[in-house]
Amino acid sequence: MSKGERVVENLNRGLHDVLVSDPRTVLIGEDLLDPYGGAFKASKGLSSKFPDRVLTTPLSEGAIVGLACGLAFCGDRPIVEIMFGDFMALAFDQVLNMASKSVTMYGRRVSLPMVIRCPTGGNRAYGPTHSQSLQKHFIGIPNLHLFELSAFHDSGRLLTQLLGLDHPCVLFEDKTLYGQRVHSGGEVDDLFSFEFLDSDAGIARVFSKDFTGASCVIIAPGGLAQRSLIAARRLFIDHEIECEVLVPSRLYPLDLAPMLSSLRSVEQVFLVEESVAGGTWGADVAQKIYEALWGELKNPIRSIHSRDSIIPSAAHLEKDVIVQADDIYETIMTAVLHA
């Protein structure tokens, strides 16, 4: 990653690199061709450099993902761009009953390398059908691997990893990330540094150089990491409450082992996600933590979610629904005061 590079620039470079490295890789989706380059410009310039392998499609998410399945069956390595992650609902049958099942339902293992990219989440005032975080609806589907982009994880390395799994993968990309700067060299800002907990650089651990030992761990993927860091900074400066933030790139299935040393040494654990409560990724992670650390945890795990509401179009009302840094701060303050 280049220092100062924006996440969308890093993603664009990552897509370029995987197209260069393997001629079987194709990029398909709506409005990808130059000069438009996709709704969030992650694909800008790619159709000019790879005119035969960047394919624009009709407005049919079911058809796009179905086409990707066929390409993967035939030996290609498709990357699908869904214009807004909300529209994955229209492709759910292809994901659930075609892509994921095809890996193992034919009497032998079938290689099906494909990645479905989903710009997700709110805080952009796009309204109720263009702002949702639907990760929880894909948890627990056999053979389907879920990942989330962050400002800590290099897109090229992540895309290469996903295509190498030979499984269908969904990559969620919080839309608020695109304009943020990527973090590199172990430095975040004047207070926070980061390191990776595993050899695959899949879980970033963000901590302050001034910490004597964190009392709280926040697990927050993607765009929630920045909001968690804002809350952690305020907690540290105003109240000397020390928080680590763990940022996993893989959501499901999640390998908890690299996190355990951080989790077993703190008073409080918080899981942050932008979905509404009920049957969520955070609930799945909490269950894994309880199974691994039952009897060692000092307090119950707490989940922080968006409010149980559709997402309003008006920006000021949207912020009242979607998890913000203030919500994370207030939840942690309440938990610490009542511990």
**pLDDT > 90? residue 195:** yes
Looking at the fold, whether 74 and 160 belong to one and the same domain comes out as: yes
In a domain, 185, yes or no: no
Q: What is the number of structural domains in the chain? A: 2
E strands present in the chain: 25-29, 54-56, 77-81, 114-120, 145-148, 168-174, 192-196, 203-208, 216-219, 243-248, 250-252, 268-276, 302-306
Can you tell me the mean pLDDT for 311-334?
A: 96
* 143, 1 contact by CB (below 8 A): no
> What is the Cα–Cα distance from 36 to 287, expressed in whole angstroms?
43
Residue finishing a domain among 143, 177, 211: 177
In a domain, 186, yes or no: no
3-state class of 131 per DSSP? coil
In a domain, 184, yes or no: no
- Residue 72's pLDDT is 96
Looking at the fold, whether 199 and 75 belong to one and the same domain comes out as: no
Looking at the fold, whether 215 and 123 belong to one and the same domain comes out as: no
* 12, 4 contact by CB (below 8 A): no
Can you tell me the mean pLDDT for 132-159?
A: 97
CATH number for the domain spanning 240: value is 3.40.50.920
Residue finishing a domain among 119, 144, 177: 177
**pLDDT > 80? residue 263:** yes
**pLDDT > 70? residue 2:** no
Looking at the fold, whether 71 and 97 belong to one and the same domain comes out as: yes
Can you tell me the mean pLDDT for 223-231?
A: 97
Tell me whether strands 25-29 and 77-81 are parallel, antiparallel or unpaired: parallel
**pLDDT > 90? residue 299:** yes
* 33, 56 contact by CB (below 8 A): yes
Cβ atoms within 10 Å of 327's Cβ, excluding its own: 19
Looking at the fold, whether 150 and 47 belong to one and the same domain comes out as: yes
Pick from 202, 80, 189, 95: nearest CA to 143: 95
In a domain, 182, yes or no: no
Looking at the fold, whether 114 and 261 belong to one and the same domain comes out as: no
In a domain, 305, yes or no: yes
* 134, 148 contact by CB (below 8 A): no
Looking at the fold, whether 262 and 114 belong to one and the same domain comes out as: no
In a domain, 2, yes or no: no
3: confidence class by pLDDT, cuts 50, 70, 90 = low
Looking at the fold, whether 27 and 135 belong to one and the same domain comes out as: yes
Cβ atoms within 10 Å of 78's Cβ, excluding its own: 28
pLDDT > 70 in the chain, percent: 99
pTM here?
Answer: 0.96
Task: State which residues form the domain around 82.
Answer: 7-177
DSSP lists the bridge partners of residue 80 as: 28, 116
**pLDDT > 60? residue 157:** yes
Looking at the fold, whether 311 and 284 belong to one and the same domain comes out as: yes
Output DSSP code: residue 89. G
Looking at the fold, whether 157 and 224 belong to one and the same domain comes out as: no
Structure tokens at 287: 């269950």
* 177, 200 contact by CB (below 8 A): no
**pLDDT > 90? residue 209:** no
Could you give the strand order of the β-sheet that contains 243-248, starting from the edge strand earlier in sequence?
Answer: 192-196, 203-208, 243-248, 216-219, 268-276, 302-306
Looking at the fold, whether 196 and 311 belong to one and the same domain comes out as: yes
Looking at the fold, whether 215 and 161 belong to one and the same domain comes out as: no
CATH number for the domain spanning 157: value is 3.40.50.970
Residue finishing a domain among 136, 151, 177: 177
In a domain, 118, yes or no: yes
In a domain, 187, yes or no: no
